[in-house]
Amino acid sequence: MRKISAMRLWLVLTGGALLILAAAYISLTHGEFDMTLQEVVQTLFRTSPTPQMDLVIFDFRLPRIVIAALVGLGLGIAGAAVQGVTRNGLADPGILGINAGAGAAIVIFMFFYQGQMETTGWTTALAMPFFGLIGGLVAALLIYLFAWKAGRLDPQRLLLVGIAIGSGFGALTLYLSLKMKATDFEMATVWMSGSIWSADWKLVAAVIPWLVILVPVIWLKSYVLDLFQLHENTAQSLGVATEREKSVLLLSSIGLVSACVSVSGGIGFVGLLSPHIARRLVGLHHRHVIPVCGMVGMVLVLLSDFVAKTVVAPAEIPVGLIIAVIGVPYFVVLLMKKTA
């Protein structure tokens, strides 16, 4: 049984890696300016580079592909951790209001520094994830306060409280964006919808440290997430410090979400869809689910970003809207199953 399980895991991981490479290749070679595989190889390996190809690949498409993959990885794994901690298949960083809290903090940052700092400068790129973390922590604190019941987090109240908190932060974000200058308002509106059109290597450098630190923390806690699927008293009887472990996992998830929101805006539903797809592929053990969640999230964001930039080219649709087209019906189906 273990050999079959391991073989299935490796098949899924191999298939996911091939899908990621295929999505990256399609996104790299197709767009307003189509390229052949030969041209891409010549540019990447510097055998026959041209300024035009260098500009398209290294300045526009490659950083966008890397950001899309990293954001999908972070949001997918954060979704697995949040669903594991809350024992609620409807839980998601976006639905729970964590995305909205992080986004509101970043819009506040943009509002007070508009016109004073370059939006692509190193200072801004490195500071935005920290502002997002503060906003995510504030959202999480409010959720804790209102969803706490009888000394523990009530999973049934968590969803409703999260939706309410997210709506409140969304209203604050909209109010601040309306107070911005016209150019800043347009940028903030596109960003709030979830977009990675302005991706560059500075944003890649800003988000990578958060993933390098926090993804291993969540994966190393996979056995704790398995125990959380039992009754909380059972987990405590097995020696798990449940409240401490919840705090570590939720803080790690908030850090991942905040870093992702700071470079891509409010992309929702990735953290909802990825764990459900991963559990169908490799079962319930989080040691297997977490890496597959990351791969599923990467595929979702990469493919959605390709659709977003090509379906109405030369105009562009925010990638968050493309994922929402998939995520909203799926969420409704899950909700109906839960209440049935």
- Give dist(CA 253, CA 339) in Å, integer: 27
Tokens of 81: 């951790």
- Looking at residue 297, what is its pLDDT? 96
Confidence grade of residue 2 (pLDDT, cut at 50, 70, 90): very low
The residue written with tokens 């974000």 in the block is 173
CA dihedral 201, 202, 206, 209 (to 10 degrees): 50
Tokens of 134: 């503060």
DSSP classification of residue 230: S
Confidence grade of residue 338 (pLDDT, cut at 50, 70, 90): low
Of 74-78, 226-230, 321-325, the range with the highest mean pLDDT is 74-78
β-pairing, 152-153 vs 148-149, is antiparallel
CATH of the structural domain 2-339, one choice from 2.60.40.1180, 1.20.1300.10, 1.10.3470.10, 3.40.50.300: 1.10.3470.10
Output the CA–CA distances (angstroms, integers) from residue 113 to 127, 138, 252, in the order listed. 12, 21, 28
Tens of pLDDT, residue by residue over 288-315, are 999 999 999 999 999 999 998 888 877 7
- Looking at residue 339, what is its pLDDT? 61
The residue written with tokens 């019906």 in the block is 329
Helix/strand/coil for 148:
strand
Neighbouring CB atoms inside 10 A of 93's CB total: 36
The sign one gets for the Cα dihedral 311, 317, 320, 325 is: negative
Tens of pLDDT, residue by residue over 120-153, are 466 666 777 888 888 888 988 888 888 777 667 6
Confidence grade of residue 73 (pLDDT, cut at 50, 70, 90): very high
Q: In terms of Cα–Cα distance, which of 214, 172, 241, 182 is closest to 75?
A: 214
- Give dist(CA 67, CA 71) in Å, integer: 6
Residues 6+ apart with CB under 8 A from 110: 119, 180, 184, 187, 188
Q: In terms of Cα–Cα distance, which of 108, 134, 113 is closest to 124?
A: 113
Whether the bond into 63 is cis, omega within 30 of 0: no
Helix/strand/coil for 152:
strand
Q: In terms of Cα–Cα distance, which of 18, 36, 71 is closest to 297?
A: 71
Average pLDDT estimate for 250-256: 90
Residues 6+ apart with CB under 8 A from 283: 5, 289
Tens of pLDDT, residue by residue over 236-249, are 887 888 878 888 99
